[in-house]
Amino acid sequence: MEKTRFGKTELMVSKAAFGGIPIMRLNKEDAVRLIKETINLGINFIDTAHGYADSEEKIGEGIRGMKREDIIIATKSPADDRKTFNEHLELSLKRLGTDYIDIMQLHNIGSAGKRDKVFASGGAYEGLQEAVKAGKVRFPGFSSHSNELCLETMKTGKFDVVQFPFNFIDDAAAKEIIPLAKEMDLGFIAMKPMGGGKLDNARLSFRYLMQFDSIVPDPGIEKIEEIREITDIISSKCTITEDDKMEIEKLRAEYGGVWCHRCDYCQPCPQGIDISWVLSTESCEKRFTLERFKLMLGQPIERARTCLECGRCKERCPYRLDIPALLKENIKHWEKVTG
């Protein structure tokens, strides 16, 4: 697969990355085989995270014996403080079987509180800086789901890489985030290029994304057929057609009115409900193992049951979603999946 320059990092990365969430569902042998086959297709960029169960370990096994300099590894730590960040970093290095990580991201700077803790004295960013100086991390990055906080964090000038949701439904990044990343020469990882599993048309999804030459989509991969299809689409260099655009508009009309964009403008909830997390129940169910799904969504779902239907979230939502009704729908989906 053709490589592209990844912003100021000067890394030459494949035009699509390998997203490491779905391999949590695979046994080790199948995951390792998938990783090796993916790399043989020309994908040299692998993205994972400390919190993705055994994803890092499987990736470490999958790249064992390969030239380390041929593989670009990005992972993430959700830590707020330096001590926890350092613990996560050391564990990631051990799991991945490497003595350095190419891109280490602070995972989901999604609230002002998290941002303030990360940048405070003794915060996770200090640990990240130290890791770069020590040669354990080559380039600092962060991920976010909040448009406002993403822009603010980019403008600090503290990072070389940004990761943010981007697909033809969740397209807010096209307005300011992607242009700013290009202006600042930041590497941009397009998280959820297929809507976290909600969009099932790879051709449409990637033709849309291929219009943006400065981004690298990061699809979660579970089957070799999936990444083969994606590499074929990208390698064909087919441009988006008028028919494609019409189909996208049709899907936007279908999904746009009931699609949580995870902007969190609906917060704070007086009942402490993590609204955007609960509304991602269907997406999480598709991406994670059942055990991990239960662990991650159990508490948020139980808290969602306390919804008073006060309507404050509906008033704040810029997409005018009927959030109380959507909470009920996601609780029902949870109950169906978990029995």
pLDDT tier at 234 (50, 70, 90 boundaries)? very high
CA distance 16 to 215: 9
Q: pLDDT tens-digit profile of 104-153?
A: 999 999 889 999 999 999 999 999 999 999 999 999 999 998 899 999 99
pLDDT of residue 316: 87
Instruction: Give the residue-averaged pLDDT of 212-220.
Output: 95
Which is more confident, 146 or 208?
208
* Bridge partners, 216 (sequence order): 189
| pLDDT at residue 287 in the model | 81
- Chain segment 10-22, per-residue pLDDT in tens: 999 999 999 999 9
Strands (E), 55-169: 72-77, 101-106, 137-143, 161-165
Q: Is the pLDDT reported for residue 288 higher than 90?
A: no
**Model pTM score:** 0.86
C-alpha to C-alpha distance for 92 and 76, rounded to whole angstroms: 9
What is the helix (H) or strand (E) element at residue 251, kind and residue range? Answer: helix 242-255
Tokens of 219: 């699809």
* pLDDT beyond 70 at 188: yes
Average pLDDT of 87-116? 96
Query: Which pLDDT band holds residue 339 (cuts at 50, 70, 90)?
Result: confident
Domains of the chain: 3-243 (3.20.20.100), 275-338 (no CATH)
What's the whole-number mean pLDDT along residues 287-311? Answer: 94
Angle at 81 between CA 75 and CA 87, to 5 degrees: 55
Alpha-carbon span 138 to 131, nearest angstrom: 8
pLDDT for residue 256 is more than 90: no
Residue whose pair of structure tokens reads 């089957």 in the numeric block? 223
Report the distance separating Cα 16 and Cα 27, nearest Å: 24
Of the chain, the percentage scoring pLDDT greater than 90 comes to: 81
Whether 279 contacts 267, CB under 8 Å = no
- Nearest one of 161, 141, 146, 90 to 114, comparing CA atoms: 146
Are 72 and 160 contacting, i.e. CB atoms less than 8 angstroms apart?
A: no
Average pLDDT over residues 182-186: 98
**Confidence label for 320 from pLDDT (cuts 50, 70 and 90):** confident
- Confidence (pLDDT) at 254: 80
Enter the tokens of residue 167: 């697909």
Average pLDDT, the chain: 94
pLDDT at residue number 257? 60
**pLDDT of residue 319 exceeding 80:** no
Q: At what angle do helices 323-338 and 290-304 cross, to 10 degrees?
A: 140
